[in-house]
Amino acid sequence: MKLEISIVLLLCVWATLAQDLMTPTLDILGELKKIKTMEERLNALNDEVRELRSKNEERAKVAFSATLSSSLGSKYFGPYAEATTLVYENAFTNIGNAYDTDTGIFTAPVKGVYFFNFVVFNPDEEPTGVRLLKNGNSVVTASDNPPGQDTEDTTCNSVSLILERGDKIYLQLIETRRVYTDSWRRNTFSGHLLFTM
């Protein structure tokens, strides 16, 4: 009988030990399942990030260049009593469609550093002047007073600006000034994205 009790005790101890030895194995399997689930989620997030980057790179292609008039005839703009937005309606380039040829307004599609340049031409004794505005605030100006000896004057300016998505850039003819355009297309407005931020 002592032998039978001893065997039963040994079996109980062995069963308890076996259960204790199996518990870490079950815990490890559970942890491995959790890790696999986390890995699947991480892969899905990586795929999402790659897709968003790809879309951002496509949107980040921004460049435009336009001239004042699409007609082949000559035309004066101004002088006006108040500053007037100039609409450069003939776009040579408008990659990203951020420049609106109906309003003359460039709207930043992404946050980044943009470069803008404009050239102003006036062929006569009248003063000329154009300013670049960001969200209604003057940034830089190009102007020229009546020429002395010559009858044609050209002036220009350029600037690099940090823009937030949705910021608006446009050119205004300064009050009591004027510009001239003809088939030579010497009044231009251009801009492009240097890099996103």
- Count of CA atoms in the C-beta half-sphere (13 A) of 107: 8
Q: Residue 106: is its pLDDT beyond 90?
A: yes
Q: Is 97 helix (H, G, I), strand (E, B) or coil?
A: coil
Q: Residue 47: is its pLDDT beyond 90?
A: no
pLDDT score at 186: 87
Q: What is the pLDDT of residues 171-182, one digit of tens each?
A: 999 999 989 888
Rounded to whole angstroms, how far apart are CA atoms 15 and 178? 100
Yes or no: say if 129 and 78 are a contact pair by the CB < 8 Å rule. Answer: no
Q: Residue 72: is its pLDDT beyond 70?
A: no
Q: Residue 120: is its pLDDT beyond 70?
A: yes
pLDDT score at 54: 67
- Count of CA atoms in the C-beta half-sphere (13 A) of 147: 12
Q: What is the pLDDT of residues 121-142, one digit of tens each?
A: 887 778 889 999 999 999 999 9
Name the average pLDDT for the chain: 84
